[in-house]
Each structure stands twice: as structure tokens, then as C-alpha cells.
Amino acid sequence: MAPSQHAPRSGGLSTTDTPPFGVFDAANQRWGVADAAIGVLLATACSLGWAWLTRTVVIDEWLQVLGAFLAVWVPLLLVLWIADAARGRRSHWRDFGLRITWLDLLWGAGVGLMVRGAVTLIELGATGRTSLDGGVLALPTGFTFWFGVILAPVVLGPIIEETFYRGLVLRAVARATARAGGTKRVAASVAVIVSALVFALAHLVGGGVMSPAVATVTFVGTLLLGLATGVLAATTGRLGGAIVAHVVFNGTLVAAVLAG
């Protein structure tokens, strides 16, 4: 899709309602599936490495929490930065669709609530209880609470993860599938499914040791979220709705824990 003459020239979040760059727009973009794979592998290796370190060395709780998030985020942000600055158009808007409109707020909130409702039913069937029931005996305090419970999962995580998985991975797979001969509809569908599967597997690997029931719920829940946010990103060409849906999905769980 051709960009509007009023489209923003630099990256960042915008609330102006201009036609989006489509997921197939590849002008001046040299990043692709290889960049996405490198980001996923680096994040997985760093996450597993940090988990091993915390089991081997005595580390303060706040540093364990900070390191667990940074071990995933730093590789993803590094790949995004290289793709954008060195292999793209030096604009998060043009490269990854990092943009939001007022309509995205509405769609994102609705989708986030629907996916959380679906995951709650799946949890209930698999484990007999749900995460929304609370059950946390003692919440952390200080930095561990504000960063590990509020800021990271509700604000920073959704922005970074959606920019990588729905901004870079989804677009890279869509363009690669289209170049292989798939129609745009097929390419978009494949990209949504692949980005959601990678997203779900990454959360499963980074979640540590889980029981079979918890692992199933984790995989299915993140897969559903990835599919839903992928459809939003592929349909609109923007990440705004996907980010809002992710924020609402995580935020409702955090609110339930705090209320419990």
C-alpha cells in the first residue's frame, strides 16, 4: 500500500489517521526472516543463560527480575535497531508499523479482553482454577514490584514484544511468503500463524520448569494472543491495536492479582 503524503517521516507513535504502510511494503528494507531468526535465537539463549546463572549464583531478587526481562528484551531491541538503522528506512513507523490511532485503542481493548476471557476458560478447564483468582500470598515490594509486576509486563513488554513479533517477524514472513509465490492473503495468514507460534514457543521456553497443565495453558494462551494481535497488525498495517490488546491482556491479570 502506498504511503499517504501526510504520513509521518520519523518513527514513533502517532495518533493521526493516515493510511498505513502495508505489511508487504519493502521499499529500502533489507531485513527479513534471517534477522527475525537471529533475534529469537539470541533472546532464547540469553534467557536460558540468565536462568542458569540465577540457579548457580546468589543474586538479589530485584536483579534477578531485572535481568530476566533484559535478557529477552536487549537481543530483540538490538535486532530491531540494526534492522531499522542499518538495514531499513530509519523509521519505526515505516519499517515496523509502530503507530496508533484512536480506533486502535478501541479494537485493541476489545481484543485483549476477549483473549483474556478465552484463556480464563482454558485455564479453568485444564487446572480447575484461573489466574484471575489471585492466590498470591505476598507481593514483592520496592523495585521488584513496580518494575517486575507493573512496568515490565503491562507497559514495556507489550511495546517491545509486539514491535519485534508483529512488526519485524510478521512482516518478514509475509514478504518472504509472497516472494515464494503466495497470494497476499495467504502470505498474511502464514505470517500471522508463524509469528504467533514463535511468540508462544518463546514464552514456553522462557517460562522455566512448568507442570504439563501450566505449560499447555501458557502455550495456548500466548498462541491465542499472538494470533489475535497478528490479525490486528496484518489488517491495519499498524502495531497500535496489537500493543493495546497485549497491554489489556497482561493488565487484567495484574489487576486481578493486586485485587486478590
The pLDDT tens digits for 32-69 are 999 999 999 999 999 999 999 999 999 999 999 999 99
Flag whether 58 is in a domain.
no
pLDDT for residue 2 is more than 90:
no
* Neighbouring C-alpha atoms within 13 Å toward the C-beta of 260: 16
More confident residue, 1 or 21: 21
Flag whether 7 is in a domain.
no
Flag whether 220 is in a domain.
yes
Q: The domain containing residue 128 runs over which residues?
A: 93-259
Residue 102's identity, in one-letter code, is W
Q: Which of 7-11, 49-53, 143-147, 152-156 has the lowest mean pLDDT?
A: 7-11
Q: Record the cell numbers describing residue 175, joined without a space.
A: 514478504
Residue that is written with C-alpha cell 512448568 in the block: 210
Flag whether 143 is in a domain.
yes
pLDDT for residue 120 is more than 50:
yes
pTM value surpassing 0.85: yes
DSSP states along the chain:
-PPPTTS-SS-S---S--PPPPTT--TT----HHHHHHHHHHHHHHHHHHHHHHHHS---HHHHHHHHHHHHHHHHHHHHHHHHHTTS-S-HHHHH-----HHHHHHHHHHHHHHHHHHHHHHHHHHSS-GGG---S----HHHHIIIIIIIIIIIHHHHHHIIIIIIIHHHHHHHHHHTT--HHHHHHHHHHHHHHHHHHHHHHHT-S--HHHHHHHHHHHHHHHHHHHHHHHHHS-SHHHHHHHHHHHHHHHHHHHH-
Q: What is the mean pLDDT of residues 9-35?
A: 63
Q: What is the mean pLDDT of residues 127-131?
A: 81
Flag whether 242 is in a domain.
yes
The pLDDT of residue 145 is 95
Structure confidence by residue, pLDDT tens digits, 161-202: 999 999 999 999 999 999 999 999 999 999 999 999 999 999
CA–CA gap between residue 118 and residue 129 (Å, rounded):
14
Structure confidence by residue, pLDDT tens digits, 200-211: 999 998 777 678
* Cβ atoms 127, 40 nearer than 8 A: no
Q: What is the mean pLDDT of residues 103-107?
A: 97
Flag whether 188 is in a domain.
yes
Q: Record the cell numbers describing residue 87, joined without a space.
A: 538495514
pLDDT for residue 9 is more than 60:
no
Flag whether 145 is in a domain.
yes
CA–CA gap between residue 245 and residue 112 (Å, rounded):
4
Flag whether 88 is in a domain.
no
CA–CA gap between residue 257 and residue 224 (Å, rounded):
21
The tally of domains found in the chain comes to 1
